[in-house]
Amino acid sequence: MSDITLQVGDLAPDFTLPDEDGNPVALSGFRGKRVVVYFYPMDDTPGCTTQACGFRDAYPEIQERNAVVLGISPDGTESHLAFKSKFNLPFRLLVDADHAVADAYGTWNAESGYIRRSHFIVDETGHLADVQVGIKANDSVQRALDSLRG
């Protein structure tokens, strides 16, 4: 398990990862918007599908609140593309193949070899406004929305 413990108010660790199409996506490129960065263990599994579809269904409200969503898992571009297409996900899925970003956010569990389901709200200035590590799939979307509304 990572020793990193991020807290509200901390500067969010910046990253650049490839999306489902292989295009680089940098967190810093979203300054001026809020970003829901969520980590999930694996594409197209029950909990991960619940979380992704929850963010999909809430996406209009997320956009109304000057925010975007970025999903991150170790799965590759082909897996992400299939998952995104199958469930009509309107946001980008990023490839963290070596789990370096998950480790920087304290969500990588080396013992189990999986990312712990988590989400972070990054504010317009790049600071963390909400930190939820190890959250249940059903709770993640609601807590993210509560944070964006607050």
Mean pLDDT for all residues in the chain? 95
pLDDT tens-digit series, residues 71-91: 999 999 999 999 999 999 999
pLDDT tens-digit series, residues 2-35: 456 899 999 999 999 999 999 999 999 999 999 9
Looking at residue 10, its pLDDT comes to 96
Looking at residue 106, its pLDDT comes to 94
Catalytic residue among 35, 36, 48, 58: 48
* Residue 21 domain-assigned (yes or no): no
Looking at residue 150, its pLDDT comes to 84
Which two three-digit tokens encode residue 145?
């929305």
* Residue 20 domain-assigned (yes or no): no
* Residue 99 domain-assigned (yes or no): yes
CA distance linking residue 105 with residue 79, whole number of Å: 23
Q: Are 68 and 35 in contact (CB under 8 A)?
A: yes
Highest-scoring range by mean pLDDT, 13-17, 107-111, 146-150: 13-17
* Residue 14 domain-assigned (yes or no): no
CA distance linking residue 77 with residue 125, whole number of Å: 29
Q: pLDDT-derived band of residue 70, with 50, 70 and 90 as boundaries?
A: very high
The domain in which residue 107 lies consists of: 32-149
- pLDDT > 90 in the chain, percent: 91
Instruction: Say how many C-beta atoms besides its own lie within 10 A of residue 27's C-beta.
Output: 20
Looking at residue 3, its pLDDT comes to 55
CA distance linking residue 95 with residue 135, whole number of Å: 21
Rg over alpha carbons for the chain, rounded to the nearest Å, is 14
Continuous segment of H or E residues that includes residue 118 = strand 118-122
Is 53 a catalytic site residue?
Answer: no
How many folded domains does the chain comprise? 1
* Residue 8 domain-assigned (yes or no): no
User: Which CATH number belongs to the domain containing residue 104 in this structure?
Assistant: 3.40.30.10
Q: Are 91 and 57 in contact (CB under 8 A)?
A: no
Beta-carbon contacts of residue 62 (< 8 Å; ≥ 6 apart): 36, 55, 68, 69, 144, 145, 148
* Residue 55 domain-assigned (yes or no): yes
* Residue 53 domain-assigned (yes or no): yes
| CA distance readout (Å), 134 to 2, 9, 54 | 12, 19, 17
pLDDT tens-digit series, residues 115-125: 999 999 999 99
Mean pLDDT of all residues in 51-56: 97
Say whether 114 sits in a helix, a strand or coil. Answer: strand
Q: What is the pTM of this model?
A: 0.95
